[in-house]
């Protein structure tokens, strides 16, 4: 098996100290390989978002290691961590965080330009990413002139631009109607089928259904996960009906 894109080794995250210590995450180990789509389910307060923030280097564990593309985040300098976040990791959040004064294509180019990529190349990559989410024709629109679903597509394009290998999504379909939400998941799925790794945090079982593997968090601990899928036929060839 190829080496994981994301690996959590016995990761814990505590808040406070002494008797008031809260274990947001406790002894979590998780490995996500290239092409793999993993969903994390759990009630609110179970540590889902903490896990995602640690995976993206937005927060640091109090013990254990987070490894992205073979690099231990705890061992990186502040600037190399920032660079890894920009180059290797894409985020899709419930709130879209598009910059209102930039057009769709400019929003998508931004992380690449911040990374020092020449504007012309950044633009061409951004257009490729927008094409992938069927938004290339609206590339010059501003966020205010787009529907919620269109804005979310742009946010996804921004998360994957420049061939980033790890996509972290936190309830990315929050404000969308069910059909548009499904389109978003189909795009994440397609991105994984093309080789990226994705971690989706959700409380919605129908969204988790898109994943290759679903892990369940409870009180900061991984309590269970679904068995690997055999294939589309296994559940659907039962005995004849009576």
Partner 1 sequence: MSIRYGLLSLLERRPMYGYQLRQEFEASTGATWPLNVGQVYSTLARLERDGLVAVSDDETADADRESQRVYAITDNGRAEVRTWFATPVRNTSPPRDELAIKLALAVHTPGVDVHAVIQAQRTATVRALQEYTRAREAAADDLSWLLVADSLIFAAEAEVRWLDHCETRLARAARTRTDAASAKPAGSVRREDARS
Interface residues with partner 1 (CB under 8 A)?
Answer: 41, 43, 186, 189, 203-206, 208-212, 214, 216, 218, 223-227, 229, 231-241
Q: How far is the CB of 200 from partner 1 (least distance, A)?
A: 12
Q: How far is the CB of 186 from partner 1 (least distance, A)?
A: 8
**Nearer of residues 114 and 229 to partner 1, judged by Cβ:** 229
Q: How far is the CB of 44 from partner 1 (least distance, A)?
A: 11
**Nearer of residues 109 and 208 to partner 1, judged by Cβ:** 208
Q: Rounded to 5 degrees, what are φ and ψ at 226?
A: -75, 150
Question: Cα separation of 57 and 8, whole Å?
Answer: 12
**Nearer of residues 148 and 209 to partner 1, judged by Cβ:** 209
Q: How far is the CB of 201 from partner 1 (least distance, A)?
A: 14
What b/e readout covers 107-135, taking b as 16+ CB neighbours within 10 angstroms?
bbbbbbeeeebeeeebbebbbbbbebbeb
**Nearer of residues 2 and 239 to partner 1, judged by Cβ:** 239
**Nearer of residues 44 and 77 to partner 1, judged by Cβ:** 44
Q: How far is the CB of 177 from partner 1 (least distance, A)?
A: 15
């Amino acid at each position: 098996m190829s080496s994981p894109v994301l690996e959590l080794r016995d990761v814990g995250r505590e808040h406070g100290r002494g008797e008031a210590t809260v274990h947001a995450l406790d002894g979590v180990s998780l490995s996500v390989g290239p092409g793999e789509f993993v969903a994390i389910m759990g009630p609110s307060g179970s540590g889902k978002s903490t896990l995602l923030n640690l995976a993206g280097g937005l927060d640091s564990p109090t013990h254990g290691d987070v490894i992205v593309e073979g690099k231990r985040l705890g061992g990186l300098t502040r600037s190399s961590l920032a660079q890894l976040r920009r180059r290797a990791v894409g985020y899709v959040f419930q709130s879209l965080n598009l910059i209102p004064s930039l057009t769709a294509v400019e929003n998508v180019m931004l992380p690449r330009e911040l990374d020092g990529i020449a504007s012309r190349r950044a633009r061409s990559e951004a257009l490729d990413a927008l094409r992938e989410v069927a938004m290339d024709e609206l590339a010059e629109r501003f966020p205010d002139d787009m529907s919620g679903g269109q804005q979310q597509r742009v946010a996804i394009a921004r998360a994957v631009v420049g061939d980033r290998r790890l996509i972290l999504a936190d309830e990315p379909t929050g404000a969308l109607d069910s059909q548009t939400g499904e389109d978003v998941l189909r795009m994440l799925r397609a991105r994984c089928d093309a080789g990226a790794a994705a971690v989706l945090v959700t409380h919605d079982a129908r969204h988790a259904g898109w994943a290759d593997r679903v892990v369940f968090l409870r009180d900061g601990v991984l309590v269970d996960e679904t068995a690997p899928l055999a294939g589309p036929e296994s559940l659907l060839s039962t005995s004849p009906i009576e």
